[in-house]
Amino acid sequence: MKTAEIAKRYLDYFEKKGHTIVPSASLVSDDPTLLFTVAGMVPFIPYLSGVVPAPYPSAADVQKCIRTNDIEEVGKTPRHGTFFQMLGNWSFGDYFKEGAITFAWDLLTGSEDDGKFGFDPKDLWVTVYEDDDEAFGLWQRIAGLPDERIQRLGKDTNYWSTGVPGPAGPCSEIFFDRGPDYGIDGGPATDDDRYVEIWNLVFMQYAIHNVRSKIDFDIIGELPNKNIDTGMGLERVAFIKQGVDNMYETDQVRPVLDKAVELSGKTYGAVHEDDVRFRIVADHVRSSLMLLADGVTPSNEGRGYILRRLMRRAIRSMRLLGVEGATFPDLFTASRDAMQEAYPIVGDEYDRLSAYAYAEEQTFLRTLAAGSVILDDALALTKDAGGSRLAGDEAFLLHDTYGFPIDLTLEIAEEAGLSVDRAAFDTLMQEQRARAKADAKSRKRQLADLSVYRDFRSQGETIFTGYSDLETESRVLGLLVDGLPVTSAAVGQIAEVILAETALYAESGGQVADKGLIVGPGFELEVLDVQRPVAGLISHTVQVSSGEVGIGQAATSVVDAANRRAGQQAHSATHLVHAALRDTLGKSAAQSGSLNRAGYMRFDFRWGQALSEETKTEIEEIANNAVHDNLEVTTRVLALDDAKALGAMALFGEKYGDTVRMVDIGGPWSRELCGGTHVASSAEIGIINLVGESSVGASNRRVEALVGLDAFRSMAAERTLVSQLTTTLKTPREGLPAKIAELTANLKAAEKKIAAFESKALGDQLPALVAAANSVGEYTVVASSLGSAASADDVRAVALQVRERLGDRAAVVALGAEISGRPIVIVATNDSARRAGAKAGALVKTASAVLGGGGGGRDDVAQGGGTDVAALPAAFAAISAALEA
């Protein structure tokens, strides 16, 4: 039974049982405390917690999930996957335990001919929470299971909560027994891989408070509406129904594994370590493809970092399997072919998605090449120093700074006959993870508990009137101070205000929030921010400027009209620039993000190379021609499918409801889905002045522009600057480029002559420096300041020449100089000195400490510096003292 068929049977069954079928939410979670949708219940949290009224009494879905907290287990067990799909059925006060258990048992054990899954009841075990006698009795009655196949377990496994105050309840898990060939007898309580959990039924019936840990909290009562949250692992059911040993061998994953086998020339099933690597590749390639399909792109932070890590682990695994060249064009194509039946977007958008993957692989392959050079140098220095183990901090630097995997460091070190101080490396990694975990916890603590918005949201959605009005009379529905509900807020306090209606725009879709005021009888509030903390609710963060505001009072939201107008100009300009980009570069220049605020816009788009000056000028001209043509700006609210049929562009990765707002500028020339505010006609934008174009990651570019009066002021400032240059240089405007090029060439020539003069002057000091050599212990030492120098290279060249003239004596040369107001010191030693124990790197560190800085290098030549030029004599004295010791 194919994976897609399993999913279809599941949805068909629950649709027949009256459930609303809900499409999967994005892997990018709306929950601000989560990077990804980590479980099937995440999109339903607002309904389960009661913050937002559920739009249906019961639902079913197939939810895409990403979970990376146990990434090290991927490939090692039959069930751990980074990307996985959860089949879920949900009840929001409709049915409860009896209904959930009845549905689950019927679907699992019913005949395949009837559209069900056909599991043999004798292969299924059940666990319940140790005190849940009701669930135990229902399993006996509904499923006819004997007592020994219903196991009671504790809170750590069979009680669900979010880990914060809110809904919670006992759960019941269903396991499949794979048989004695896979482990010991004894049921799920043995925690053995023989018993695979396939379905978890959560009976969400209590409200908890004072949460001290996952298993330590206070139950404060039953929920007004008892909910059902279930999750069946699609991949787990698939590998059981397909008769394979693990999820990596199912129909949606195995093609990638097989392609990796083909590329490596190795055999799957022959060597355990290789098998783990094949499975990592299969999982991570599919996970990366699905993340890309939901708008995540590789970067060094947040979601992008997780995606980059997955891709690089796959590349590393292929490298350890003996493949050093590019593999993603083969691997990602195999994953596309396996996944597009269930998710057509991976086929429809494959050219764009794969471009990110291929670019990331090429970048990392270059990183591996550069890291190999750095590692080779580190290994050589370790050997030269007589060591047998690469320092842990060296390995960590390679991993943390250069992205060089520790597995490859271990492998290359072993080939060189060295080991790695893995304990020190692991300590540094643990410290880094601890810092990251502390940062994450801090961020989570700073977020308000969304349940505080439940009562406000229950009164209905906030009505936004700002498309047509700049002032709207309303009333205060709620107040929050420090995340807690209050009845009033006084002068000086920062508070959140919930109104029934508002003219103030909440930040979204790249458009920043409005500025403005909220005024009422006896109070005035300065609006600092406007956000949508939960779906359908607008919250205003304000500072009370005068008076006192209270619940139930009349309040008028007042938009800063000038700021709104400038913001609208920027937002509409963004649409024009997008259309101009597509006109110039083609449809593949797809939007990947934007920001609009008064007088400024930036636009990120998919493109693999910098734009030429001619292209930037063309884009700017097309956009400004659209301004000149005074195109009409119209908006329509219509069904999402109807808007797409009309060719409306949607921001990739953005979430849209069934009904959308479509903005046209000049008809179909610029037609986008957008909830922002806009000008009435394009001439109102004024001027669009492109002021920047840059890279924002692999295959992503960014253009920035000033708009309206800000664009005019920028151009006026440039005009003034040009006027000053023409006057100073006595050259007409059109001659400025040639004149500046001439001056630059003359300056470079002069600098070259000065550098040559200074270099000669330094060289002229050679005889005196050699003559000034003196004995320090068993060493012949030259220690002197050269005065000022053009570069450290000049000082280094003199030091090496002095060392050469000192012959075979144990020579140590320490020369200092002042460069751009700061001291440097170069230390050079010859073979005889090094055999006697003088190491340039150690000596330069000694000198640099006196200079108030640092340095280092090889044993033969090293460089350091600091901040105190006057300390150079003391630095030389410190070198002499070190040689005498």
User: pLDDT tens digits, residue range 536-553?
Assistant: 899 999 999 999 999 999
Output the pLDDT for position 35.
85
**Residue 80 marked as a ligand binder:** no
Extended beta strands in 551-646, E state:
554-559, 591-597, 600-606, 633-639
Per residue in 150-201, pLDDT (tens digit) is 999 999 899 988 777 778 899 999 999 999 988 889 999 987 788 999 999 9
- CB 705 within 8 Å of CB 601: yes
Helix (H) or strand (E) holding 90: strand 83-92
Per residue in 604-649, pLDDT (tens digit) is 988 878 999 999 999 999 999 999 999 999 999 999 889 988 988 8
pLDDT surpassing 70 at residue 452: yes
Q: Which CATH architecture has domain 3-249?
A: 2-Layer Sandwich (3.30)
**Residue 674 marked as a ligand binder:** yes
Is domain 765-884 classified as CATH 3.20.20.150? no
Output the pLDDT for position 447.
38
Output the pLDDT for position 386.
80
Output the pLDDT for position 437.
58
Name the band, by pLDDT with cuts 50, 70 and 90, for residue 459. Answer: confident
Output the pLDDT for position 265.
93
Output the pLDDT for position 445.
38
- CB 277 within 8 Å of CB 321: yes
Model pTM score: 0.68
Output the pLDDT for position 654.
62
**DSSP line for 138-184:** HIIIII---GGGEEEE-HHHHEEE-SSSEEEEEEEEEEEE--GGGS-
What's CA 734's distance to the chain center, in Å?
Answer: 47
Q: What's the Cα-to-Cα distance from 225 to each of 57, 91, 741, 772, rounded to whole Å?
A: 11, 10, 76, 93
Per residue in 779-800, pLDDT (tens digit) is 999 999 988 887 888 888 889 9
CATH topology assigned to domain 450-551? Elongation Factor Tu (Ef-tu); domain 3 (2.40.30)
Q: Which residues pair with 472 in a beta bridge?
A: 557
Tally helices (H) and strands (E) across the chain. Answer: 26, 35
pLDDT surpassing 80 at residue 436: no
- CB 226 within 8 Å of CB 93: yes
- CB 843 within 8 Å of CB 813: no
**Residue 571 marked as a ligand binder:** yes
Name the band, by pLDDT with cuts 50, 70 and 90, for residue 766. Answer: confident
Name the band, by pLDDT with cuts 50, 70 and 90, for residue 759. Answer: low
Output the pLDDT for position 649.
82
Single out the residue of 85, 81, 121, 114 nearest to residue 3, CA to CA.
85
3-state secondary structure 209-264: ECCCCCCCCEEEEEEEEEEEEEEEEHHHHHHHHCCCCCHHHCCCCHHHHHHHHHHH
- CB 781 within 8 Å of CB 775: yes
- CB 183 within 8 Å of CB 190: yes
Domain boundaries, the chain: 3-249, 254-444, 450-551, 564-716, 765-884
How far is Cα 761 from Cα 756, in angstroms, rounded to an integer? 9
Pairing of strands 124-129, 150-153: parallel
Q: What is the torsion angle, in degrees rounded to the nearest 10, for the CA atoms of residue 75, residue 80, residue 84 and residue 89?
A: 160
Output the pLDDT for position 418.
87
Per residue in 465-489, pLDDT (tens digit) is 999 999 999 999 999 999 889 999 9
* C-alpha triplet 811, 816, 822: angle, nearest 5°: 155
pLDDT surpassing 50 at residue 440: no
Extended beta strands in 640-678, E state:
659-665, 670-673
- C-beta neighbour count of 95 within 10 angstroms: 18
Place of tokens 């807690």: 484
Mean pLDDT of 247-275: 94
How far is Cα 861 from Cα 97, in angstroms, rounded to an integer? 76
Per residue in 516-525, pLDDT (tens digit) is 999 999 999 9
How far is Cα 259 from Cα 831, in angstroms, rounded to an integer? 54
Output the pLDDT for position 371.
76
Per residue in 374-389, pLDDT (tens digit) is 788 888 888 877 888 8
Output the pLDDT for position 637.
93
pLDDT surpassing 80 at residue 73: no
Output the pLDDT for position 442.
46
- CB 633 within 8 Å of CB 682: yes
**Residue 628 marked as a ligand binder:** no
Mean pLDDT of 836-854: 91
Per residue in 645-684, pLDDT (tens digit) is 898 887 655 667 778 999 999 989 999 999 999 999 999 9
Terminal Cα distance for the chain, rounded: 79
Lowest mean pLDDT among 208-217, 485-494, 683-692: 208-217
pLDDT surpassing 90 at residue 564: yes
Output the pLDDT for position 446.
38
- C-beta neighbour count of 838 within 10 angstroms: 25
Output the pLDDT for position 480.
93
Q: What's the Cα-to-Cα distance from 509 to each of 271, 450, 506, rounded to whole Å?
A: 50, 22, 10
What does pLDDT average to over the chain?
89
Mean pLDDT of 263-291: 94
Q: What's the Cα-to-Cα distance from 501 to each of 455, 475, 517, 708, rounded to whole Å?
A: 16, 8, 14, 30
Q: What's the Cα-to-Cα distance from 58 to each of 48, 168, 222, 535, 657, rounded to whole Å?
A: 11, 18, 20, 19, 19
Output the pLDDT for position 655.
65
Residues 6 or more apart in contact with residue 730 via CB below 8 angstroms: none
For 564-716, the fitting CATH number among 3.30.980.10, 2.60.40.3500, 3.40.50.300, 3.40.50.150 is: 3.30.980.10
